[in-house]
């Protein structure tokens, strides 16, 4: 039987935030949040990549929530250039932690603009054990705040991304790799565009491989 997700509305800094939530019944399950692409370019939690990531977490024993940022779907508020969206993500993390006080690991993930918010969130939340950042755009956004990157994680990118330069990904890789005590895996999906169109299965395989490796000890 397919696990059942429920629609939830959680308190956010600009009003209520719309979300989809799945609670794993097993005691001590890890928790995760999934963040969507840029709201001003049509990004919502219904995005295909967001849904793929959400499903991978569900299938691998997590309690997981994906939310619509402020002003998207049924979420209150208006777009706030990343600052407010970071607060929304923090509210989602607060909420899922309260719902799962026994959680064993805490993960954050995001796609495109969502990966920027995801990376900013790990700088503020020491309880985060791991992250999955998909299609970050270091040629568009400044990732120099990752100094140092506080936790291990996975960055997934395409070698044929039409919105991201190869050089900027290599530079991000170099910056993070030079830090001791953490391991950030850069996973390449070949022949994919920024949105992994027709490469969703390859994307799923990369995420699943990483999650299974990191949760094997739970």
**Residue 1 covered by a domain:** no
Q: What is the pLDDT of residues 106-138, one digit of tens each?
A: 999 999 999 999 999 999 999 999 999 999 999
Q: Residue 209 pLDDT > 80, yes or no?
A: yes
> Could you list the residue range(s) of the whole structural domain that residue 53 is in?
6-215
Q: Residue 153 pLDDT > 80, yes or no?
A: yes
| Mean pLDDT, rounded, for 140-146 | 94
The pLDDT assigned to 179 comes to: 81
Q: Residue 1 pLDDT > 80, yes or no?
A: no
Label residue 184 exposed, middle or buried (CB < 10 Å: 0-12, 13-18, 19+). Answer: buried
The pTM score is: 0.97
**Residue 169 covered by a domain:** yes
**Residue 46 covered by a domain:** yes
Q: What is the pLDDT of residues 68-116, one digit of tens each?
A: 999 999 999 999 999 999 999 999 999 999 999 999 999 999 999 999 9
CATH number at residue 77: 3.40.50.1820
Q: How many folded domains does the chain comprise? A: 1
What contacts 169, CB < 8 A, 6 or more positions away?
136, 138, 155, 157, 186
**Residue 131 covered by a domain:** yes
Q: Residue 8 pLDDT > 90, yes or no?
A: yes
**Residue 186 covered by a domain:** yes
């Amino acid at each position: 039987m397919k696990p059942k997700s429920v629609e939830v509305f959680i308190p956010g800094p600009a009003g209520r935030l719309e979300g989809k939530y799945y609670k794993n019944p097993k005691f001590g399950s890890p928790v995760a949040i999934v963040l969507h692409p840029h709201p001003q370019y049509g990004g919502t939690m219904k995005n295909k990549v967001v849904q793929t990531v959400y499903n991978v977490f569900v299938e691998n024993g997590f309690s997981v929530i994906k939310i619509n940022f402020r002003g998207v779907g049924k979420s209150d508020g208006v777009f706030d250039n990343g600052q407010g969206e970071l607060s929304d993500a923090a509210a989602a993390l607060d909420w899922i932690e309260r719902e799962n006080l026994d959680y064993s690991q805490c993960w954050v993930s995001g796609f495109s603009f969502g990966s920027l918010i995801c990376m900013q969130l790990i700088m503020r939340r020491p309880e985060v054990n791991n992250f999955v950042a998909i299609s970050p755009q270091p040629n568009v956004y400044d990732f120099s705040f990752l100094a140092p990157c506080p936790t291990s994680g996975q960055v997934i990118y395409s070698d044929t991304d039409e919105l991201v330069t190869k050089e900027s990904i290599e530079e991000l890789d170099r910056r993070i790799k030079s830090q001791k005590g953490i391991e950030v895996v850069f996973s390449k999906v070949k022949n994919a565009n920024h949105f992994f169109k027709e490469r969703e299965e390859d994307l799923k395989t990369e995420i699943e491989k990483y999650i299974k490796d990191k949760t094997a000890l739970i």
